[in-house]
A = this chain, B = another copy of it.
Amino acid sequence: MKVLWIYAHPEPRSLTGSLRDEGLRALTELGHQYRQSDLYAMHWNPVVDRSDYGLDAASRLLVAGESEVAYDSRRLSPDILAEQEKIEWADVLVLQFPLWWYGMPAILKGWVDRVFVKGFGYGLTRDDGRVRRYGEGKLAGKRGLAAITIGGRQSTFGPRGINGELEQVLFPLLHGTFWYTGLSALPPFVVHGSDRAGAPEFERAAKELRARLETLGTDEPIPYRPQNGGDYDEDLVLKPEFSGGHTGLAVHNLRTSQPG
């Protein structure tokens, strides 16, 4: 398989950096090809602006519309085009980052903001007029894995943990970004307690990461519901009979939804 590894940590000597090194070694040993976007090393610019689309200073910037025009006419900034080319090459995207304020570091959020322009990440329609999103985007057929280092303890991200159940805290990434664009979202790879990790904890995490990479192509993705499969009505609201009247983020995942 072909893997694009997007890595976002300012310190290569960190636990996160060491796991990146380990992960890339493992991919090679497993016979996979990889390419890497080391966002800090690349000095990646995370800020969406008119220069992304070659738009002059006088024109009003409509982000969605201008990004689509620039995508269609190949006028996107070269750094964006380079990332899109890597994504098209890959079978699997790995986003590796430390959890900061319950989300991606800004440099990685801005990789998503800038690279997933209209026409590439969203805004595609089918012949029947329905929008291709949630299972049906341009990236359908590829897989997405979030590999996350977290300072807090595992219990605090459990079903009633104070920080929120991790898969729901990550809903904007797993469902709203991976699944939205068509990527099958794999269950995240998570290392807890990273702020207090020593050599034994690193060895265990490295071993667990290798195990996950061995099954990268066969692991079952999170079973989010497709938009256009009949579960949602014309207002894109889940029909109540599919969730037993329940509400909340869990209803969009077939594993956690409770049918009536």
Residues of A within 8 A of B (CB): 10-11, 13-14, 40, 46-50, 60-64, 98, 100-107, 109-110, 112-113, 116, 134, 151, 153, 155-156, 158-165, 168-169, 171-172, 175-177, 195, 227, 232, 235-238, 240, 243, 247-252
A101 touching B236 in the complex, CB below 8 Å, given contacts A106-B48, A249-B164: no
Q: Is the CB of A106 within 8 A of B47?
A: yes
A160 touching B240 in the complex, CB below 8 Å, given contacts A107-B106, A172-B103: yes
A50 is contacted by which of B10, B105, B110, B156 (Cβ under 8 Å)?
A: B10
Complex formed: what's the CA distance from A105 to B111 in Å?
11
Complex formed: what's the CA distance from A102 to B49 in Å?
19
Q: Which residues of B contact A48 (CB under 8 A)?
A: 10, 100, 105-106
Q: Is the CB of A109 within 8 A of B102?
A: no
Q: Is the CB of A11 within 8 A of B61?
A: yes
A106 touching B103 in the complex, CB below 8 Å, given contacts A10-B63, A60-B11, A168-B248: no
Q: Which residues of B contact A46 (CB under 8 A)?
A: 46-47, 106-107, 110
Q: Which residue of B lies closest to A240 (CB)?
A: B160
Give, as a whole number of angstroms, the nearest-CB distance from A225 to chain B: 8
Complex formed: what's the CA distance from A175 to B155 in Å?
17
Give, as a whole number of angstroms, the nearest-CB distance from A127 to chain B: 21
Q: Which residues of B contact A62 (CB under 8 A)?
A: 11, 14
Known contacts A64-B151, A169-B171, then 8 further A-B pairs from the complex at CB < 8 Å, ordered by chain A residue: A10-B49, A10-B63, A63-B98, A101-B109, A101-B116, A109-B110, A155-B236, A169-B249
A159 is contacted by which of B160, B177, B248 (Cβ under 8 Å)?
A: B248
Give, as a whole number of angstroms, the nearest-CB distance from A144 to chain B: 13
Give, as a whole number of angstroms, the nearest-CB distance from A192 to chain B: 12
Give, as a whole number of angstroms, the nearest-CB distance from A116 to chain B: 7
